C-alpha cells in the first residue's frame, strides 16, 4: 500500500490555496489524490473573474505533456481537447503540427480539478499555516517583485466562417495569435510591450476580420522568468506567481501543472522545491533575456535562440534524446522563424 504524503490528515496544518486557475486547481487535485480532502484542511480562495468564461482568459493552447499530467490526477485528457490543428503558421511559414499542439477547454478542466472543493471569494479572518500563492501576475500573497516584467494582453473569442489554422505573428506592435477552439471558433489576441492599447486593438480587429465576436477580455502575462525566492516564510509561490511562464512563447499551462507537482514532491523542503523549479524552468530566464534583447535591438540572438532547442522540445512534450533528425530539424526551423521577425518595438508613429 502506498504511504500517504501525510501520516494523519487531522494533524495537518491548514492549507490555503490562493488562486483557482490552472496552478491552484491542479495543486488542489494533487493534494486530494494524495489523501488530503477534508474541508478543514484545504481552503481554496479566488475572487473570480469578470470574463464570460469566469477565468482570466488567454490562449488555451498546450502541448502533449497535458495528457500525462491530466491522467496523473485521474482525469481523461480527451474530454478537454477542443482542437488539434493539422497545420500551423509562424510568421507566415507553414508547419505540420498534428499531435503536438492542442487547444483545451480550460474552464471545464479547472471545474473538474476543483470538483468537491468550496471556492471562497475571500479568506475572511482565517489564518493558514501554509499559504500557496497561485494568484498569477498579482502575486497577492508573496508580494510584488521589483524587477517584474508584465505585458498587457487583449483577446477575443470569435467565430469564423470556416475553421482557422493555428497562427502566430510577431511584429512591431507585439506578438499576436489565432488559436482554434471548438468548431469554427478561435481565440484571437495579442500581447505587447508597447502598452499601446489602440494599436493592439487594431491588430486583433484585422486578424478577426469577417468573424463574429463572441466575447472579449484583457489581462496580463508575466515575462520575467522564475522569481526567487519562491518561498517566503509560510508562503509558497506556484505557476505564474513564481514567474513560470516562457517569455518567448507565452506557454504557462504545463509549467503551472508541473510546478504544482514539484511543490507537493518537496512539501517540507523549500530549498529543494526552488532547486527543482530552477532545474526544470531556470532556462526561462535565458528566454526572458532574449525577448528583452529583441525589444531593445530589434533582432534575436541567433546562437542563443537555437541553443534552447532542447528545452523547447521538452516543453513541447518531446524527448530530445530520442528525437529523429527530421524532428530536430523541424524544431530548429521553427526557432529560426523568429529570426525573420520584424522589430518588436514601437513605431515612431505610435509614440
Cβ neighbours, 10 Å, residue 41: 18
The verdict on residue 192 lying in a domain is yes
Residue 25 binned pLDDT confidence (cut-offs 50, 70, 90): very high
The verdict on residue 71 lying in a domain is yes
pLDDT greater than 90 at residue 126: no
The verdict on residue 319 lying in a domain is yes
237 DSSP 8-state letter: E
**CA dist., res. 130 & res. 113, Å (int):** 20
Q: Across the chain, how many H-helices and E-strands are there? A: 10, 16
The verdict on residue 150 lying in a domain is yes
pLDDT greater than 90 at residue 4: no
Give the domain range for residue 340: 9-350
Mean pLDDT of the chain: 82
Task: Supply the CATH number for residue 73's domain.
Answer: 3.50.50.60
The verdict on residue 2 lying in a domain is no
The verdict on residue 95 lying in a domain is yes
Mean pLDDT of 3-28: 71
Domain count, the chain: 1
Mean pLDDT of 42-63: 76
Q: Three-state SS for 276?
A: helix
- Sign of the Cα torsion 102, 182, 46, 136 reads positive
Do 43 and 9 form a contact (C-beta atoms < 8 A)?
no
pTM, to two decimals: 0.86
**CA dist., res. 152 & res. 169, Å (int):** 16
Q: What is the pLDDT of residue 56?
A: 66
Do 189 and 103 form a contact (C-beta atoms < 8 A)?
no
Among 256, 31, 244, CA closest to 130: 31
The verdict on residue 1 lying in a domain is no
Among 212, 205, 209, CA closest to 190: 205
Amino acid at each position: 500500500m502506498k504511504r500517504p504524503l501525510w501520516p494523519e490528515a487531522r494533524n495537518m496544518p491548514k492549507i490555503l490555496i490562493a488562486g483557482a486557475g490552472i496552478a491552484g486547481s491542479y495543486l488542489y487535485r494533487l493534494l486530494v489524490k494524495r489523501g488530503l480532502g477534508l474541508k478543514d484542511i484545504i481552503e481554496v480562495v479566488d475572487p473570480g473573474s469578470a470574463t464570460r468564461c469566469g477565468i482570466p482568459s488567454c490562449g488555451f493552447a498546450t502541448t502533449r505533456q497535458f495528457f500525462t499530467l491530466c491522467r496523473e490526477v485521474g482525469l481523461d485528457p480527451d474530454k478537454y481537447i477542443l482542437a488539434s490543428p493539422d497545420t500551423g503558421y509562424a510568421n507566415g511559414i507553414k508547419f505540420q503540427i498534428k499531435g503536438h499542439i492542442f487547444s483545451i477547454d480550460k474552464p471545464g478542466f479547472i471545474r473538474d480539478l476543483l470538483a468537491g472543493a468550496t471556492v471562497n471569494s475571500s479568506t475572511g479572518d482565517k489564518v493558514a499555516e501554509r499559504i500557496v500563492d497561485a494568484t498569477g501576475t498579482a502575486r497577492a500573497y508573496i508580494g510584488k517583485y521589483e524587477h517584474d516584467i508584465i505585458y498587457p494582453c487583449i483577446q477575443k473569442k470569435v467565430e469564423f466562417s470556416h475553421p482557422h489554422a493555428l497562427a502566430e505573428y510577431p511584429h512591431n506592435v507585439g506578438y499576436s495569435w489565432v488559436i482554434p477552439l471548438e468548431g469554427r471558433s478561435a481565440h484571437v489576441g495579442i500581447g505587447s510591450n508597447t502598452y499601446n492599447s489602440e494599436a493592439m486593438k487594431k491588430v486583433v480587429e484585422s486578424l478577426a476580420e469577417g468573424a463574429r465576436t463572441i466575447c472579449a477580455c484583457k489581462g496580463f502575462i508575466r515575462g520575467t522568468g522564475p522569481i526567487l525566492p519562491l518561498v517566503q516564510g509560510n508562503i509558497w509561490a506556484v505557476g505564474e506567481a513564481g514567474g513560470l511562464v516562457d517569455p518567448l512563447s507565452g506557454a504557462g499551462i504545463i509549467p503551472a501543472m508541473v510546478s504544482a507537482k514539484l511543490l507537493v514532491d518537496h512539501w517540507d523542503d523549500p530549498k529543494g522545491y526552488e532547486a527543482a523549479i530552477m532545474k526544470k524552468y531556470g532556462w526561462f530566464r535565458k528566454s526572458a533575456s532574449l525577448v528583452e534583447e529583441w525589444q531593445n535591438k530589434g533582432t534575436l540572438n541567433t546562437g542563443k535562440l537555437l541553443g534552447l532547442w532542447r528545452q523547447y522540445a521538452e516543453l513541447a512534450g518531446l524527448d530530445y534524446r530520442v528525437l529523429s533528425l527530421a524532428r530536430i530539424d523541424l524544431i530548429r526551423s521553427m526557432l529560426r522563424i523568429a529570426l525573420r521577425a520584424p522589430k518588436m518595438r514601437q513605431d515612431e508613429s505610435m509614440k
